[in-house]
Chains A and B, each alone.
Chain A
Amino acid sequence: GAGVSQSPSNKVTEKGKDVELRCDPISGHTALYWYRQSLGQGLEFLIYFQGNSAPDKSGLPSDRFSAERTGGSVSTLTIQRTQQEDSAVYLCASSLGLSGDTQYFGPGTRLTVL
C-alpha cells in the first residue's frame, strides 16, 4: 500500500517568510509525528498527534513552529518568519499508535532558508 508522503520534497525560501509543509500518513494510522534532521542536531522530535487527543508539542523549538492535523489524517507543519537555522530536512512518520509499534517515515521535505 501507499507509504507516508510529504510535500514539497524541496522548499527554498527567504528569511522571514512563512512556509507550510504537508504530510499524508499511512491510511489507518492514528499516530503522526514530525521530526527534524539537521547536520548539527541529528534527528529531533518536534510534535506528536494521537487520534483526537491534544498533541504533544514538547519538541517544538520555538513559537514560530506550529502544526495541525485535520480530520485525523493529513498534517501541516507551519514555520513562521523562517530563520536560517530552520534549514533542515523535516520528516513525518506515522504509526498505529501502540506502544512499541513501528514508525514509518516519509521521504522528507528539505527546507533551505536563504
Chain B
Amino acid sequence: GDSVTQMEGPVTLSEEACLTINCTYTATGYPSLFWYVQYPGEGLQLLLKATKADDKGSNKGFEATYRKETTSFHLEKGSVQVSDSAVYFCALHPGGAGSYQLTFGKGTKLSVIP
C-alpha cells in the first residue's frame, strides 16, 4: 500500500537557519503530494501541494519539489522564524479513481529558538 516516510524529529533550529525536512513516498500511480502544518493548539492547515512530477509547491517561504525519480517531496525554507515552530506532516493523495484518503507521515516537530 501507499506510505510516506519523513524524517524523525524533533528538529531544533536557531532563527534564520535553513530548514530541510525530508519526505519520501511509496505509491502506485501518480499521487499528489502535500505538506500540512499544525501550529500549537491548532488544527491541520495545508502549507503547500504539488500534483505532478517536477511541480514546485510554495507558500510562506517554504518550498517543496515533487521528484518522481527519487520519490521525494522534501520541505525547505531558507530562513526560519520563531513563528514557524509547529509540527509538519508530509502526505500523499493517490491518483486515479477510488477513495482519496490522505496517507500521512508521522510528522516532524520543528522548534525555532530566537
Contact = CB atoms under 8 A, between A and B. Distances in A.
Interface of A: 31, 33, 35, 42-43, 45, 48, 50, 56, 58-59, 91, 93, 95, 97, 99-108
A103 B99 contact: no
23 contacts: A35-B101, A35-B102, A42-B106, A43-B104, A45-B101, A45-B102, A50-B100, A56-B101, A58-B99, A59-B101, A91-B43, A91-B44, A93-B44, A93-B102, A99-B93, A99-B95, A99-B96, A100-B51, A101-B93, A102-B46, A102-B49, A104-B46, A105-B45
A52 to B, nearest CB: 15
Contacts of B95: 99-100
B103 to A, nearest CB: 7
A43 B89 contact: yes
B107 to A, nearest CB: 6
Interface of B: 32, 34, 36, 42-46, 49, 51, 89, 91, 93, 95-97, 99-107
A48 B101 contact: yes
Given A33-B101, A45-B101, A59-B101, A100 B93 contact: yes
Across the A-B interface, the 10 shortest Cβ-Cβ residue pairs: A100-B32, A43-B104, A45-B101, A105-B44, A107-B43, A56-B99, A42-B106, A100-B51, A105-B43, A48-B99
A43 B38 CA distance: 12
A70 B44 CA distance: 25
Nearest to B34: A102
A86 B47 CA distance: 29
Contacts of A107: 42-43
Contacts of A97: 100
A36 B102 CA distance: 12
A105 B95 CA distance: 20
Contacts of B102: 33, 35, 43, 45, 93, 103
